[in-house]
Structure 1
């Protein structure tokens, strides 16, 4: 009897990744309350799933597939409705920003961050603080039972319902609420930290000039050859249009953050095709802009250009958005570490 070729290939892969016992998982999952770095080792330089044997996480299994499918559908429907979840208005309050856990005061994993941002847009929440009903009760708060929780995922991919503090009553948690609801615009935004980032990064940023193959505009010219970095012969610089080319200073800075995410690709040992690179750059720049207080770019030329391709990839592969947000967080942490001195979790 002939043995199917697929079975032989699977057995060969298993033998390669594990000498004794069951094979190593093809992808490690993430934990809501632990460092996202713990599963980054499972991603190769091309963004593909790699064998890993980390004991603190469960393997890529049916629960994982189900969770990724549900999350992908949620993100697809949000993008289809015209909302860009990674672009947020900048509220001038320390309790506003990227979602954080009230239990650990740390950021959520990349996928959960995206799901919570969708909930922020959908429900007009303004605070960054999220927690389970039991945690809010422990802190003395009372969850409004007429509101729906937002479902994210634990390290074993089981659903975890969370509530934003905007759904919680009680004076004991008032210190975590947003009190200053003023919105930063292009004229009032403080761009000091962005200027500090540009100065500290050491990136080669060329404003208002082109090169032999690119006109003056918004480009990141990758090192050539890429694999030789940092001993490449050409490339590895950003071509940026002059500030007057953009509608306002905030758009100029937001575009710069987008190109810095591309600049971080080779420095985080990652490369992919152009649609994925653009999705990562859009998500990553949105997250950095939120943290640094840069108003989102109102222009959606780039999103409109790639949106249909992103949606097609997400429908075809439920893991697509997971890989995108994972690399976006990796680049985000790399760039934020330039001005904060250490990598975030």
Structure 2
């Protein structure tokens, strides 16, 4: 029987949520605890693979950011320890198929699953791959100034006021936020702002995302994009995601996941695009970037 990789991964996500922790919800500050997963080449993983590696890191206590295949470890002089189990992630690509009736060529997408190991499962690797404890960039006056510059440089219009609840208003394309002093910490303020910024990326002048606020299902899907996207974004800029509001949508997410095995893939892809867009806009003035 052919493997249904979409269903396998969806079931992994469902199990994580039902166990009480959505895989994108991490208690971190961007530099400590759950580093953004990256390949042996130094490139960051993308989309659904980030969620799969975060699940594995949390379950097994890995703090090192780098993952590699068995053969990659072997080429570098390392050896996966006996008994260690790898983590399955996916590779997206296409293949060309020629029509039997004419000369047309169709590009058909496919999904392939392969296994990687965290460097903490491997002996004999160079010292540069050993986990370290970088200083947090989300706390302290200078780091907050860096984050303030990042959000300002995105070009998003942000209005602060004591009577304003956190939101993005599509009518005037404005993010509303209470003053930072009204939050329990600066971490909470910037995590909430990151969530609203992900909503902002979907507007017509930018990514033109199909934001179906007129249905319960549409709102839940957009909130999932904002949840995952803000975690991706915070992982890069050294902020702490604010995950307090996700519980309101959990049942809707679980229902959608059970009914549609490609739901989480679409959400993760859109979240990655939103995070990438925000980083592209705000990165020039960010002097300290965590997890890179």
**Same fold at TM > 0.5:** yes
In the superposition, relative to structure 1, how do residues 219 and 125 fare at CA in structure 2: closer, same or farther (>3 Å)? same
Cα distance in 1 for residues equivalent to 2:123 and 2:17: 31
Taking only aligned residues, the RMSD between alpha carbons, in angstroms, comes to 2.3
> Which residue does the alignment assign to 2:151?
198
Matches within 5 A, 1:1-345: 66-88=4-26, 89-90=28-29, 92=31, 97-102=35-40, 104-155=41-92, 156-170=110-124, 172-180=125-133, 190-208=143-161, 216-223=164-171, 235-266=172-203, 267-272=206-211, 273-297=218-242, 300=244, 302-340=245-283
Residues 121-130 or 184-193, more deviating: 184-193
In the superposition, relative to structure 1, how do residues 173 and 71 fare at CA in structure 2: closer, same or farther (>3 Å)? same
In the superposition, relative to structure 1, how do residues 145 and 157 fare at CA in structure 2: closer, same or farther (>3 Å)? farther
In the superposition, relative to structure 1, how do residues 188 and 71 fare at CA in structure 2: closer, same or farther (>3 Å)? farther
Cα distance in 2 for residues equivalent to 1:176 and 1:138: 14
Question: What is the deviation of 1:189?
Answer: 8.9
In the superposition, relative to structure 1, how do residues 128 and 92 fare at CA in structure 2: closer, same or farther (>3 Å)? same
Could you list the runs of 5+ residues in structure 2 that have no partner in the other structure?
Answer: 93-109, 212-217, 285-292
Cα shift readout 1:200-257 (whole Å, capped 9, x = no counterpart): 11211011166xxxxx10010014xxxxxxxxxxx10011112222111110010000
Cα distance in 2 for residues equivalent to 1:68 and 1:80: 18
Residues 251-260 or 195-204, more deviating: 195-204
How many corresponding residue pairs? 257
Question: What is the deviation of 1:74?
Answer: 0.3
Structure 1 length-normalised TM:
0.69
Question: What is the deviation of 1:121?
Answer: 1.2
Cα shift readout 1:156-179 (whole Å, capped 9, x = no counterpart): 423201001111111x42202222
Could you list the runs of 5+ residues in structure 1 that have no partner in the other structure?
Answer: 1-61, 211-215, 224-234
Question: What is the deviation of 1:340?
Answer: 3.4
Q: What secondary structure sits across from 1:97 in the alignment? A: coil
In the superposition, relative to structure 1, how do residues 184 and 199 fare at CA in structure 2: closer, same or farther (>3 Å)? closer
Q: Please say if residues 96 and 178 of structure 1, whose CA atoms lie closer than 8 Å, have aligned partners that are also in contact.
A: no
By relative contact order (CA 8 Å, sep 6+), the higher-ranking structure is 2
Q: Please say if residues 132 and 162 of structure 1, whose CA atoms lie closer than 8 Å, have aligned partners that are also in contact.
A: yes
Q: What secondary structure sits across from 1:205 in the alignment? A: strand
Question: What is the deviation of 1:291?
Answer: 1.1
Q: What secondary structure sits across from 1:277 in the alignment? A: helix
Cα distance in 1 for residues equivalent to 2:201 and 2:59: 31
Structure 2 length-normalised TM:
0.81
Structure whose alpha-carbon radius of gyration is higher: 1
